[in-house]
């Protein structure tokens, strides 16, 4: 669904009355990661795509994801199996990232 993908890709930019809904890079990355993972935009590959998009978003914004492949795979599966608290997802991303 192309329209849904565009909508999800804009989640990090959402504001309400000029105030950003997602105030830092980690919360923005979490919104993008969770959105692609759970809204099933693609027939297949949503989890992989969400992880790659989150990784790239962090990179563009000056951060590098330092989680191992196994950690990222495990956490992505957790996100896909339950409705996560976005702040907890952002905390995980922050814990597993560093400035580059």
pLDDT in tens, 25-61: 999 999 999 999 998 889 999 999 999 999 999 999 9
Average pLDDT of the chain is: 93
Percent with pLDDT over 90 in the chain:
72
DSSP single-letter state for residue 17: T
Tell whether the model's pLDDT for residue 83 goes beyond 90: no
66 pLDDT above the threshold of 90: yes
- Structural domains for the chain: 2-99 (1.20.120.1870)
Q: Other CB atoms closer than 10 Å to residue 49's CB: what's the count? A: 16
The rounded distance, in Å, linking the Cα atoms of 19 and 17 is 6
Q: Using alpha carbons, select from 70, 58, 68, 65 the residue that is nearest to residue 95.
A: 65
| Mean pLDDT of the 68-77 span | 96
Question: What distance in Å separates the CA atoms of residue 92 and residue 100, rounded to the nearest whole number?
Answer: 18
């Amino acid at each position: 669904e192309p329209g849904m993908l565009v909508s999800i890709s804009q989640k990090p930019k959402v504001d309400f009355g000029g105030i950003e809904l997602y105030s830092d890079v980690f919360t923005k990355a979490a919104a993008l990661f969770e959105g692609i993972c759970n809204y099933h935009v693609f027939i297949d590959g949503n989890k992989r795509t969400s992880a790659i998009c989150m990784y790239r978003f962090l990179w563009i914004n000056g951060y590098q994801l330092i989680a191992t492949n196994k950690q990222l795979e495990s956490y992505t599966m957790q996100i896909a199996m339950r409705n996560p608290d976005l702040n907890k997802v952002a905390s995980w991303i922050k814990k597993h990232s560093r400035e580059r």
